[in-house]
Structure formats: structure tokens, C-alpha cells
Structure 1
Amino acid sequence: MSAPPAEGLVEQWESEQARLRQQVVEEDTEDWQRSPDFSGLERVGGVDLSFIKGDDVNACAQLVVLSYPDLEVMYEDSQMVTLMAPYIAGFLAFRETPFLLDALKRLEGNQPELLPQVVFVDGNGLFHYREFGLACHLGVLSGLPCVGVAKNLLQVQGVYKGEEHQSQIAALQKGGDSFPLTAASGKVLGKALRSSDKSSKPVYASVGHKISVDTAVRLTHSCCRYRVPEPIRQILSLHIPTEINSAFHSLRDSESDR
């Protein structure tokens, strides 16, 4: 069993999150975001870190870029990485962001014309303990608009998976319907979205960086053929090194605090 995290490291990471949190832009910054049909948006990205079952150190950092609105794969990148930072709930971004940034930098160096105009992150953005999840972390450090889309509800800041939440989910009648995830403070940290007519189970979308919550939700819906947005769903189809192909699973299925 691993030793508990050093208090000093937690304090250091909390301080760094607070510093970077001040740089998050929670509004639309791009012309395409203000267009009803996202005119001008041509490339959407998705990132994820996949882990070998039972191994939380060795992982595969993955990036895809899809055309928009056709949602066809234009670029894909998978690279094995070794995570050095310890796992601490609420601070997964410190383990994972460096490798996702590296993937974006490889693309920018090799094929800059394919750099995505927005990145979907399989995890949370502002909907987080300290309003600074993985999507915010990646957005601030990359400078790209980012959207966090989680498959599981993070019960945080007064948002709980209780009867009221379940009744709100039941009231989502069709793809595109949503309801706000409102913190105890009254601030809307994200929205639960029925992303497809075919799926009654919602996803949880929140601002990462350089996009408003309403635009983030609208864009998420426009990128969904099924429950999960295509830039994230397509990562599951990436070529993964054969030695671990059969053992991969996504940490996000069991951990929603990213």
C-alpha cells in the first residue's frame, strides 16, 4: 500500500491550482464560438490517458483531431508514458497534463496546420473541488479552448447524485436537453447534457478554458453521434501498442475527480 501523500506536496499543488485558476477564461473568445452553426470551426481534438488494468504508472497518452462538422479522423497519436507524480484525488492533472501537452506540441511541431481549434478532455473543467480540473489545467497551459466532458458525476460543491438529480435526468427528453450543475454558492459549474436521443444517461460538460458554458454544452452536443463526443470516443479506436492492447481501460470509468 502506498504511503500517504506528503502534506507539502498537496499544499504546493493547491497553490499552483489557485494561481493557474486565475488565468481561466470562462467566456467565448473565438469567432466560431459565436456562430449558430460554429462557422469557421474546422478541427476538434480529443485527449485521454489510458491505463493498463492494475497499473497506475504506465499509460498511453492519446490525441486525435477530427474534421468538423464531418467528424472524420484527420490525425492520431498514441505514445507510451511513465507517470512519475503520485495519485492524489483532485490533483490528477499534475500527473497527466504534461503528457497531453507533449502530444499537442508534437502535432504543432510536425503538422501545425492540424492543430485543433478546441480540445475535448475526458474529465472535468470548472466542475471540480477547486474549480480547476484537468480540462482547465490543459487549457491554461496550452492556450487552447478546452471543454471537459465527464461520464460520471463528480459529487462536489453541493452537487449530489440524489433524488433531485435523478429527477432532473429523467426530465431530459431529447438530445441537446440539459440542466445546470449549480454549486452551493449559486455558481453554475457545468451542465448535465443528454447528448444523444439514443442515450438517456447524461454526460457532464464544463468549461475548461476560452469558452462559455453554454457554448461548451452546445458544441458537445454537436459532436455527439452517440453518448460520448466523437473526439473522445474515437480515442478508444486508436492503435494501442500490442503488448498492452487487451489490458487497457480508462481510469475515468472508475475515477471521476479529474
Structure 2
Amino acid sequence: MSHMSQDELVKQWESQQASMRQLLVEEDTEDWQRSPDFTGLERVGGVDLSYIKGDDVNACAQLVVLSYPNLELLYEDSQMVTLNAPYIAGFLAFRETPYLLEALQRLEKTQPNLLPQVVLVDGNGLFHYREFGLACHLGVLSGLPCVGVAKNLLQVQGISNSQQHQLQIASLQKGGDSFPLTAASGKVLGKALRSSDRSTKPVYVSVGHRISLETALRLTHTCCRYRVPEPIRQADVRSRVYLRLHFPAAAES
């Protein structure tokens, strides 16, 4: 990729996103998704990439699979990877997706019975500049239902961390309460979710692939013991432990 200018790369990536966007499914496709208590859902995946401090090239790609509804660990895969695509805002998926996809493919090859029925992704789905974030990339390329769950608000398409946004957050009374993230166009790109009674700071949920927003929101809430849903929290914790064990000097810096 080094022979391409950033402008050329952006044009190529925009074209690829537009093509993949045509394959995106924004509705429920599985029987368990239509069940009030998600009957039939047994395995929920979580993915995350953790970086070494001061190093934005080497990272730990992490996949966990938890049982549902008990959220107990069934499988984990920690892999050091070298990112070869540059960081460009709005195109994070091109840096991270290949390694998360490889982790899912390794699992499918070695223990297909543990493949998750849905994957919660530490990042955005439709709630994105071009309505095709990391969770959409991973969903379309893996074929699995995916949900984007971001910890921070992406200020995009007229949505901003405004006084009105803060008032909406303050109006969330209990875990499970939410409000829509509505673009300037009027389209709802996702929802801000108060994920637990104990946490007043919301997470931002959006469709990744093969799931509706309401189902994605409900599922995310049922996976929360704390603010961040357990599959993503476990992926984050375990990838950081892996880095501390293998790169103690870097982790302390």
C-alpha cells in the first residue's frame, strides 16, 4: 500500500466500502433474534484489538466466545499481529478487520461447534461517516450477525456531544433506557444505551450485519454486567493481560 498516496488509498477504500455496503443486511435473520428471551442463542462472541503504548503497529487481536445467557468463557484466542494499513479516520476497519476475521476463521476451522452466533464488536457499525464501520466490515466479510458497541460518541452526520446530547444522557433513568442517534438526514444510525443501573455513561449501539437495531440494543443490554457488554469487556481485559505478559516493558511505559 505504501506506493499509493493517502488520497488514492481513501478513494479505493471508499469504493470498497460502497460495494460492501450493498451486501449489508439491517434486519433480523435468525430465529433466536425474534424470541423475547433469545431462545436458541447459546454463544456470543466479542472482539477487540489492544495496542502497546507508544506503538500503533503491533497489537493483540482478541476473540472470546461466551455462553449465553450465563456469559461464561467457552473459548479465547489472543494473537499478536502487525498492522500494515495506515490509520486514516473513518477507515479503521481496513486496519483491524483482517485480524479479527482471521481469528473467527481459525475458530471455524478448529472448533466449528464454538463459532459464535453473533459477534459484539468494540467499535461502530452503521453509526459511521459512510454508514459502514468496523462492525459492518466484520459482519459482511464473516457472514455472521454483528453488533457495533462503541464506548465513545462518534461525532458524525450532525450528531455531536452537544448540550442537548448531554441532557438526553441525563434523562436515561435506568439500565436498558436508550435514545436514538438521529443524523441530520433524519435517519436513526444507532442508539445511546444506558447499559446498567450503576453506570450513567452510555454506550453507543449500532447495527453491524444481519440484526435489527432494536434486537441489537436488547441483546447488548442483556450482555451487560457492567457498562461495557461482557463479550467486549472480556476481549479487552484478556488482550491487555496478554500484552502485559508478553511485553511487560511496553505495557508499563
* Fold-level similarity (TM above 0.5): yes
- After TM superposition, give the deviation of residue 145 of structure 1 in Å: 0.2
Q: Does 1:240 align with 2:222?
A: no
Which consecutive residues of structure 2, in runs of 5 or more, have no partner in the other structure?
none
The amino acid of 1:244's aligned partner reads F
- After TM superposition, give the deviation of residue 235 of structure 1 in Å: 1.5
The amino acid of 2:155's aligned partner reads Q
Q: Does 1:82 align with 2:85?
A: no
- After TM superposition, give the deviation of residue 243 of structure 1 in Å: 2.8
Map of 1:152 onto structure 2: 152
Map of 1:173 onto structure 2: 173
Equivalent residues of 1:121, 1:149 under 8 A apart? yes
Map of 1:121 onto structure 2: 121
Distance in 1, matches of 2:225 and 2:48, equals 19
The amino acid of 1:93's aligned partner reads A
Distance in 2, matches of 1:199 and 1:15, equals 39
Distance in 2, matches of 1:245 and 1:152, equals 28
Mark the CA change 1:5 to 1:167 in structure 2 (over 3 Å): closer, same or farther. farther
Map of 2:8 onto structure 1: 8
| SS of the residue 1:57 aligns to | strand
Mark the CA change 1:139 to 1:167 in structure 2 (over 3 Å): closer, same or farther. same
Deviations 1:135-192 (A, max 9, x none): 0000000000000000000000010100110000000000000000000111100000
Distance in 2, matches of 1:189 and 1:243, equals 39
Q: Which stretches of structure 1, 4 residues or more, deviate above 4 A after TM superposition?
A: 245-249
| SS of the residue 1:233 aligns to | helix
The amino acid of 1:24's aligned partner reads L
* Total equivalences in the alignment: 247
Q: Give the TM-score, by structure 2 length.
A: 0.95
Q: Give the TM-score, by structure 1 length.
A: 0.93
Deviations 1:50-87 (A, max 9, x none): 10011000001000000000000000000000001111
Residues 85-96 of structure 1 aligned to structure 2 (within 5 Å): 85-96=85-96
The amino acid of 1:206's aligned partner reads S
RMSD over aligned Cα, in angstroms? 1.5
Distance in 2, matches of 1:78 and 1:126, equals 27
Residues 1-258 of structure 1 aligned to structure 2 (within 5 Å): 6-238=6-238, 239-241=241-243, 242-245=245-248, 247-248=250-251
Mark the CA change 1:36 to 1:78 in structure 2 (over 3 Å): closer, same or farther. same
Identity of aligned residues (%): 78
Distance in 1, matches of 2:157 and 2:121, equals 21
Equivalent residues of 2:49, 2:236 under 8 A apart? no
More helix by share: 2
- After TM superposition, give the deviation of residue 244 of structure 1 in Å: 1.9
Equivalent residues of 1:5, 1:88 under 8 A apart? no
| SS of the residue 1:79 aligns to | strand
Distance in 2, matches of 1:60 and 1:22, equals 30
